[in-house]
Amino acid sequence: MRLHREGTPTLLLVSALVCFGLFTLAKWPVLPMPISVLIGSVLVAVLGIVLWFFRVPARPLPHDDTAIIAPCDGKVVVIEEVYEPEYFKDKRRQVSIFMSPLNVHINYHPIAGTTAYYKYHPGKYLVAWHPKSSTENERSTVVNEHPRHGKVLFRQIAGALARRICTYAREGAPAVQGAEFGFIKFGSRVDLFLPLDAKIEVALGQVVTGAHTVIARFNH
Answer whether 115's CB lies under 8 Å from 66's CB.
no
Angle between helices 33-53 and 8-27 (to 10 degrees): 170
For 14, the 3-state DSSP assignment is helix
Tell me how far apart the alpha carbons of residues 84 and 82 are, in angstroms, rounded to a whole number. Answer: 6
**Which runs of consecutive H residues, i.e. helices, occur in the chain?**
8-27, 33-53, 133-136
- DSSP string across 164-198: -EEE---TT-EE-TTSEEEEE-SSEEEEEEE-TT-
Question: Which among 96, 134, 140, 188 is annotated as catalytic?
Answer: 188
Tell me how far apart the alpha carbons of residues 67 and 110 are, in angstroms, rounded to a whole number. Answer: 8
Is 188 an annotated catalytic residue?
yes
Tell me how far apart the alpha carbons of residues 100 and 116 are, in angstroms, rounded to a whole number. Answer: 29
Question: Which amino acids are annotated catalytic?
Answer: 188
